[in-house]
Structure 1
Amino acid sequence: MSLATIFNEFYRFIINNLRRIIFGSVIISLLVVGGRYVVNRIINSDTIESYNYLAHAYQQEPASFQVIVTMEDGSLFSTAAVFDDYFATPAIVEQIEKQTGVKFGKWLQAEHDLEMYKTNTFRGGLAGIRDAASNVITLRFLVGQNAEENLKIAQAYANLLKNNKLPFLDKNTVTIIRSPEIGEMIPIDLVEDVPSKETLTPFQTKEAKGSIIYGILGLFIGAMLSIVWSMILHYRKHKIGYAFDYTWSINDLHFIFDRQDSKVTLDKLIQTPSKNDRVILRQQKHQEPHVQELISADGSKYGLQTASLANLDSDHLPNEIVIILDANLTDKDWYNEQRQLAELYQARIKIIQLI
């Protein structure tokens, strides 16, 4: 069996079943993406809830105030991180929540759920940022559900500083140089250290990329499954549709003829060489009109025509047997029977499949 023929026939099979394959691919892709979405929502429910919380909080306007801390020797305190680390402790958060009536403590756990820990380059929703040029410390709050809540929280922390109730300050003096207000006070070159509307974009991009990858994977799997299913449905049929529906010997002549091509070509395929004692096999009940006319106009020209080798006289010994197959019309059982009978003759076997 020629590999080139099989590849061509498989390509024709794909084209003939293209709608089913595309439909199956799209359905499987949607199921894969949808299944991934549902599973992610179940497995990562806490993470998704945290993402949604921060996505809303980071869309709001922050509230800020600025301070300078003067130490006993007159120098300026320069460690801003100690402020937001202390402000984020559970006891202080709970205290501020009671004073303001605003529940915002969830923000820190939400950032941890998304692995957004405080580092030198990211200070989180409650941040202390020092301007290296002036040693002014900006305390920024982006943890509430709206700008007004952020302002209430900022004012409560400012009052905490005014009362000097911070254990790490000791005898250092805190001076609020800019009162709490809504808006950004952090210098433009330090804005990247704190969250904003764009902070969660990588999470969105990651989710989108994951959906695209799974969608493409679903299309591929869907195409494979659709092809396999189409093959199963096809092999359940009793008719010959493609060259891979039957077998032939390496010594056989095998041709595939397109009905759209010239009848002269089919005529040559059947009658060449013209001097052969030829038997033409074809299931009579399925003959196409134009082929019937072609091979029956002059019987002696082509050879004996019959529906079965079993009909031949026992003393008739042809030197060529032509088996004509009509795609989607000829029975597989008929072909197998005729192929077995043909093996009993010392004759060349020529198979012509009409598509």
Structure 2
Amino acid sequence: MDQFFEEIKRFFKKYIKQILIASVLLTTVFSTLYLFKSEATPEDDEYSGALTDPDLYDGNAYFKFYVEDENQEAFTNTVLLNQYLRLEENLTEVSENTNTNLLEAYEEQKINLELNPTDTIPVIEVRRDNKSQLMTLYVRLENIKDNKKIANYLFDELLNNKISVLENKDVYLFLEPNVFEKTIEKATTKDLFSSLNIRKTIMIVSILLVLSIVLMISIFLGKEFFSKKLNFSFSYFTDESTEFNLYSDRIENNYEISKFLSAPGFTEKLLVTQNILPKLEEISKNTTINKSKNKLVIDTTKFYIYKELENTEELSQVSEIIIVVEAGKTDRNWFNTQKRVASLYNKPIKVLQINR
């Protein structure tokens, strides 16, 4: 367990600054997107039946109402209402009774409305707020007085239950016809921040920060699993038959490592290391190294040191093969190759990682 925590601490010591910087940047980007998305509730397509207020312009007339069906549930079929309002006979009736050009205006935009419904603002339509279920009828002719006339006429039609598609339904009128006298401007950044739910915003930003940190940790872990050098014990694999140990000054496990290497005593073993063996003379007081002959003795155990496994006389008489990994210096390809070759000799295999 000490070895695992040692590797985790080394990992965060190496990457903590990069993780935090990248996480803060990601959180900033996603938080900004969230804030600007909160500026206005997105509108759904008209044919989904769940619509919110569109942009309102100077001279638009409107009123709000609510409809319940026979089951006392909200009536939500705005598609049906719009189709009814835009029938030629109904547009003709409204135009004649209000002395306006509603029919003519609708006929002029009918083709565009059919081809590009999302890009065309109808001269008359009903929309529904997908939260409150309130419906809003809009009239958008160029003549403001005509807009008010039409809105008042349809308001009275609803009030007197003269809309045939709403028969057997309860209609509640919430807001009498009004005319917008000026363009409703979109909220500024200052207005946006002042209207935000601070607690909710803090919670969302905190969640985004945590998710960003988790994402960056995953990315850097993935980087270690595919790096050319072996940096951490969790970034490479050993099978169940392979014994593993880790040597580090911070753990102070010299005694354990010396026994891991030498036990059982009075034997000969093979040490395979890609680089010059570091710190091995510090592992045990009873360590001697013969650099000229590539030999090492710990207690009563003799080691032959090789950079790669070869068919030699010593290999036939050793009791174990020990592969040494020096963190940050040993190549992944070299390690995988030596491990595969070592498995061919039917001898116990150990892996020792040395952290500088």
- TM-score, normalised on structure 1? 0.48
Higher-Rg structure is: 1
Higher relative contact order (CA 8 A, sep 6+): 1
